[in-house]
Structure 1
Amino acid sequence: MSRHVYLRILGYVATITLHVGNLYVMGQPKPKHIMADPYIRGYMEMRTRYFTRWTFFLQIFYAVCGLTCDVMVLKNSKRNYELPKYLKGFRDTLFAAIVWPSTLLVFTFFWTLYVIDRNLIFPPFLDQIVTPTSNHIMHTAIIPIALWEVLFQPRSVPKSHVKNVLHLVLYLGLYLSVLIYTYMDSRRWVYPIFQKIYGTVYFYIVMGFIVILCLGFYYLQWSITRKIWGPLEKEKVKRKTR
């Protein structure tokens, strides 16, 4: 049994503990004078529609899925056991097509705008309810979590990327529909940057740039995968040809 399985389990347990613990902390009752702030109330009403929130919930869900897979493998380690094809396919597609690109997008988009002008993405009033630690768990810690999976989950580069890219585009389309519905329903954009640039050409440029970024991040993972797992794949091919 490869030691990688134990390192993955450690990563999954840490991911679940970190994110669920952060959710618990952020969910604690806030003082009445803070909740009386209309900007805070607006944020609380929108909190389920933030892409960041979608992403760390995805990381929790994926960690549960990955943990389930590895426990199944460990329980059957004395036999020549393989994960059910559809379970393995679901796990691999979920990470490659959605979790990895979404994670890198959240980190890059958030911190770039935060450095340029935090009012575009995370206005100062949010400091009243989101501590620096919680902020970094949601926007920084997600990167090592995703990298841990790439480092310790043996993978091979798919022959075709059509299926994964299609899943990614559909996921982005789903989130875009939520953004548009929110604006049509309340005349407010989830993120301040869109409130500022909507109605200008920059709105479409930013939207297009986000899609391009996600596609770039998707393909980036396979460059990393080749460097880490390429030698292992070559060894497998050699064994098959003997």
Structure 2
Amino acid sequence: MGTAARTNSVYGGVYGALRTLMHLTAAVQFTYGIYYDYSYVEFPTTEPEMRIHHPFGGKFKYLTFLDALIQALYYIVSLVNDFVGTNELAPKRPPAIRQFKDWLMATLAFPVALNVGVTFWTLYAIDRELVFPKVLDPVFPSWLNHVLHTNIVVFIVLELFTSYRAYPKRSKGLTGLTIFMGAYLVWIHIVKHYSGVWVYPVLEVLQLPQRIVFFVAVIGFTLALYLVGEFLNNTVWAKEVKLAKRKSN
């Protein structure tokens, strides 16, 4: 083996180890965040200002919590793929775990993470009472807030630049994301019907026409984030995308 080959081999091994370490860190972080949130964070419902946190639907009515589940699943799948799948840039026959990993990243993990992070911090900057009232501070620790609303974006962007994935056909990817977001909107209306309150305080101050515009904007924004992820992937991994297209032809 020549010097250049040995150097590339060592570099590839170190790079792969760091990527696996990142997947492990993310998987542990988000899994623990879910566990802590589900087991220890209890919103009081006796105070008038806390009625928004009606127990119906539990934590599963919050997109933040559902996104944390998606992120934890994605990084666990990525970790498994690191050991029993393949991180080859353009494998001829990618194993099922690699195919699922690529689909999950493109269709849900990236766009939903950015949706949650950008929407939360934007509303927080405008008026935190619309999304994270101060009364929650004693029961929802700051570190957990950043795990669920900040780190999800940090890690998914790192993942974008450190792992190549083959995007599905745009129609299939957008359809999957639309089904997920549409199902979530139906779910929060079910929660509203049985609890009498909206999941998010911002929805309480919007009239019906404004809510319709808000929901359309949220879905449109999320679909746009899918396209952003696809564009960034095709830009960062341009050579790999071309290679994959040549192999598929």
**Unpaired segments ≥5 residues, structure 1:** none
Deviates more, 1:135-144 or 1:4-13: 4-13
State how far apart, in whole Å, the 1-side matches of 2:239 and 2:41 are. Answer: 53
Q: What SS is found at the alignment partner of 2:164?
A: coil
Distance verdict in 2 for CA 1:92–1:28, change over 3 Å: closer
8 Å contact kept, 2:54–2:195 = no
Q: Does residue 150 of structure 2 align to residue 140 of structure 1? A: yes
In the TM superposition, residue 36 of structure 1 has moved relative to its aligned partner by: 6.9
Deviates more, 1:149-158 or 1:132-141: 149-158
Distance verdict in 2 for CA 1:238–1:213, change over 3 Å: closer
State how far apart, in whole Å, the 2-side matches of 1:50 and 1:42 are. Answer: 12
Q: What SS is found at the alignment partner of 2:137?
A: helix
In the TM superposition, residue 73 of structure 1 has moved relative to its aligned partner by: 3.7
Q: Does residue 128 of structure 2 align to residue 128 of structure 1? A: no
State how far apart, in whole Å, the 2-side matches of 1:178 and 1:121 are. Answer: 18
* TM-score scaled by length of structure 2: 0.81
Pick aligned residue for 1:12 from 23, 33, 37: 23
8 Å contact kept, 1:12–1:63 = yes
Pick aligned residue for 2:189 from 180, 185, 191: 180
Pick aligned residue for 2:65 from 45, 48, 53: 53
8 Å contact kept, 2:38–2:59 = no
State how far apart, in whole Å, the 1-side matches of 2:41 and 2:180 are. Answer: 33
Identical columns (%)? 23
State how far apart, in whole Å, the 2-side matches of 1:63 and 1:204 are. Answer: 34
In the TM superposition, residue 228 of structure 1 has moved relative to its aligned partner by: 1.5
Pick aligned residue for 1:65 from 77, 93, 99: 77
In the TM superposition, residue 164 of structure 1 has moved relative to its aligned partner by: 0.4
State how far apart, in whole Å, the 1-side matches of 2:226 and 2:115 are. Answer: 10
8 Å contact kept, 2:52–2:197 = no
Distance verdict in 2 for CA 1:60–1:238, change over 3 Å: closer
Deviates more, 1:135-144 or 1:40-49: 40-49
**Unpaired segments ≥5 residues, structure 2:** 1-8
Q: What SS is found at the alignment partner of 2:122?
A: helix
Q: CA RMSD in A?
A: 2.9
Q: What SS is found at the alignment partner of 1:197?
A: coil
